[in-house]
A and B are shown apart, each in its own frame.
Chain A
C-alpha cells in the first residue's frame, strides 16, 4: 500500500515542502479567520468611536457585547424558542420530504400527480403565506412551524428524489436477476445511493429552516408565539434599543453557524468511508 516498510523515511524536497505546507495550512485554517474577525471588530469599534456615530445608527461592538451579557435572561429563552422552531421544522421537513420522495420513486402516478404541487409550495414566497396561516391556524407556534417547514421541505424532497433515482442501472439489473423485492431494492440500493444527495439537501434545508423561522417570527411572532430571536430583534428596533438588536442578530447568526456545522458533521460522518465528497486525497 505504501513504501514505508522499505525503512527509508527520507523525504525529498517536494515531500518536505508538502509536509510543511500542510502544517501551515492546518494552523492557518483557524488563525486566519480569527484574525479577520478580530480586525473587523477593531475596525468597527474605531469607526464608531472616532466618528462619534450615534448608537441608534450603529452601536459599537462594546455596547453590543454588553447587551448580550445584560440581556442574557431575555435573549437565551428567545434563542431556545427559535432553535426549537427551527429544529422541529427541519425534523418535519426531513420526515415529510423523505417519505414523499420515497412515495414518488415507488409510484410514478404519485409523482406525476403531486410533484407540481410541491413545486408550487416551494415557489410561493413564504412571506406571502404567513399572514394567511395566522388566520387559519389557531396556534401561532404551529403557524410559524408550518412556515419554516414549507421552506425547508423542498430541498430535501427534491434532492432525495434525485438521489433515489441515481442508482447504477447495472446494479438495478443485478437486483432484478437476483430476484430482489421492492423493499430490498429500496433498502439496499436506492437508499444508499440517495444518501449523499439527501445530506446535501439537509445542509441547505438547515439554513432554510432558520430563515423560515425568522420570517415567521417577523410576520406572526408579535401575535404571541412566545418571543423568539427574530421577534426580539424586531421589538428592539421599535424601542431604538440597537444594542439588543445587534445582539439578537449575532445570536441568530451563531444559530445558523451551529446548524450548518452540525449538518456538515453528520454528512461527513456518514460519507467519510466511501463517498468522493468526504474523502481526503492521499497524494
Chain B
C-alpha cells in the first residue's frame, strides 16, 4: 500500500496540522508522500480537511505545525490548480484566460500563443479560443479552467472537486479526458472528491479521510494499469475496488461519529 516502484517523492508532508482561530482543528497529523506521476485522490465527507490539505499544498495557507517539503525548487509554473467552479475571468476570451499564468509572469500573448493553443487543443476547445466564458456550457468552462492549470506544464496539478457541479454524462467524459491529459503531460495530480466512483476510476492512490478533526484513515492502492477507458467502469475489478473504498469510507464515517 505504499508508493509505486520507481517513483521519486515530489512532496512530503510530515505531521502537518492546521488549526483555525486557535480552536477549530481542520487537519490533524497528516503525513503523506506524493510521488512524481501519482494520481492521488483525497476522499472523504465534508469537513474532513481535504480542501484544507489542498490549500496547504498550494501555499495559500501555512501549517500550524508540521512540515511540508518539496523536492527540488518549486518554480513559478510548477503548480496548477482547478477549483470547484471554473473561476474564469468573464471579461476575457477563452485564450486570454488560459494566458493568465504566463501573463502574470510577464510573458506576452504572442510568445505564449503556442502553449495556449496546445493546452486548448488538449482539452478539445481549439475552436473556441475567441469565445467569452458566458458563451460556453458548464463542462466547457471547466475545460478552460483545466487548460489554464496545464498551460505551464506544471509538475503538480491540484483539483478541488472540479466536476461536482456537472451532470453525470459530462463528468464521465471529463474523467476520461482528464486521464488522457495527465498521460500526455506526465504530471502529478492531487484530486479532491467525495465520489467513491470517481476516485477509483481516476486514481492509483486513494487517501480516505474522516472529519472532526480532519485526518487520514487509510490509503488504498488501485493497481489497474492505465490507460483506463470507459469499459473499466463496468468491470468486476472496478466494482471490487469501489466496494473496498466504500467500506473504508464507511469506517471513516463511523470513526467520525
Contact = CB atoms under 8 A, between A and B. Distances in A.
Interface of A: 168, 170-171, 173-180, 184, 188-189, 192, 195, 273-276, 279
Given A173-B60, A276-B134, 15 more contacts: A168-B87, A170-B83, A170-B85, A174-B81, A176-B59, A177-B60, A178-B76, A178-B104, A179-B76, A180-B104, A184-B104, A188-B89, A274-B134, A275-B90, A279-B134
Nearest to B58: A177
Max count, chain B CB within 10 A of own CB: residue among A173, A174, A275, A276: A174
A173 B87 CA distance: 10
A188 B76 contact: no
A188 B90 CA distance: 12
A195 B113 CA distance: 27
**Interface of chain A: mostly helix, strand, loop or mixed:** helix
B91 interface: yes
Contacts of B87: 168, 170-171, 174
B58 A274 contact: no
A175 B24 CA distance: 27
Contact of B91 (A173, A178, A184, A195): A195
B100 interface: yes
The 4 tightest CB contacts between A and B, nearest first, are A170-B87, A178-B104, A170-B83, A192-B91
Contacts of A178: 76, 100-101, 104-105
B62 to A, nearest CB: 12
A87 to B, nearest CB: 27
Contacts of A276: 134
Contacts of A168: 87
Interface residues of B, number: 21
Interface string B68-100: 000000001001010101010111000000001
Interface of B: 55, 58-60, 76, 79, 81, 83, 85, 87, 89-91, 100-101, 103-105, 132-134
Nearest to A173: B60
Contacts of A274: 90-91, 132-134
19 contacts: A170-B83, A171-B89, A173-B81, A174-B81, A174-B87, A174-B100, A176-B60, A177-B59, A177-B60, A178-B76, A178-B100, A178-B104, A180-B104, A184-B104, A273-B91, A273-B132, A274-B90, A274-B132, A275-B91
A190 B58 CA distance: 22
Contacts of B101: 178
Contacts of A192: 89, 91
A168 B81 CA distance: 15
B100 to A, nearest CB: 7
A176 B87 CA distance: 14
Given A188-B103, A274-B132, A177 B81 contact: yes
A175 B104 contact: yes
Contacts of B132: 273-274
